[in-house]
Structure 1
Amino acid sequence: MFERVNATFGADWTLHDLRHSAAARMVRDPALTLTDVQWVLGHAHLTTTEIYLAPRQDEVVAEVLAYHARRADQHAEPVPPPPAPGYDPEAMDGLFERSS
C-alpha cells in the first residue's frame, strides 16, 4: 500500500512515519500521561518518549503571537465607563481632563 501511495504522490512515507505522527498526537492529548505514551510505544526509557514533547514550529509561532496580543491588550489605554445617568458627559470630561 505504501509503495502505491508513495508512487502516486511522489512521497516516501513509511510505517515509522505513521508511528511518529501517532506519538506526537498522543503526547499532546491531556488525557494521556507521558508514561502512558511510553508504554504504548514500547520505549524502555522515558527520555526517548520525551523527544515527542518538542513543539512544532507553527505551535510556537501561534503561542508567541497570542502572547504579544495579550501584552498589547494589557497595555491598551482603558476606556472609561460612560457617566452615570444625570451627569453631563462634557462636564465629566472637563473634570477629569480628558477629551471626548
Structure 2
Amino acid sequence: MSDATLSVKVQMVAETGICHGMIADAKGNIYLSDSPDHAIQYVTPDGKVHFLVKDERLIWPDYFGIGKDGYLYFSCSQMNRLPKYNNGEDKVEYPFRVYKVKLP
C-alpha cells in the first residue's frame, strides 16, 4: 500500500492530553495516561473522552495491562523525577508501585 493510500485511512479518534501509554479493552474503550493531570483517561468507541481516575500518586503513568478480573493495572515510572530532568537531583520516590482501578 502506498503512503498516499495509507494516509487517507488514518482517522482522528479524540483529542487528549500528553500520553505515555495506552491499551484497549474488549469493549473498544482505549485507556491512556494523562501525566500532567496525574490521571488515566479513556476514549469510548463513540469518541468521547472520560477520566477513569485522578490521583496525585499517579506520577507519569505509562505501562498498562488489563486483567481478567475487570481491572486496569498500571505502573508509574516517575520519569519526570529522574536526575536528568532535575539538575542532577534524583526525586524518584521508592519503592515503585503498581496500581489497579476497576474498568467501567
Question: For this structure pair, what is the TM-score category when the shorter chain's length is used for normalisation?
Answer: under 0.3
Comparing both structures, which one devotes a greater share of its residues to helix?
A: 1
The TM-score normalised by the length of structure 2 is 0.22
The TM-score normalised by the length of structure 1 is 0.22
Larger radius of gyration: 1
Comparing both structures, which one devotes a greater share of its residues to strand?
A: 2
Larger relative CO (CA 8 A, sep 6+): 1 or 2?
A: 2
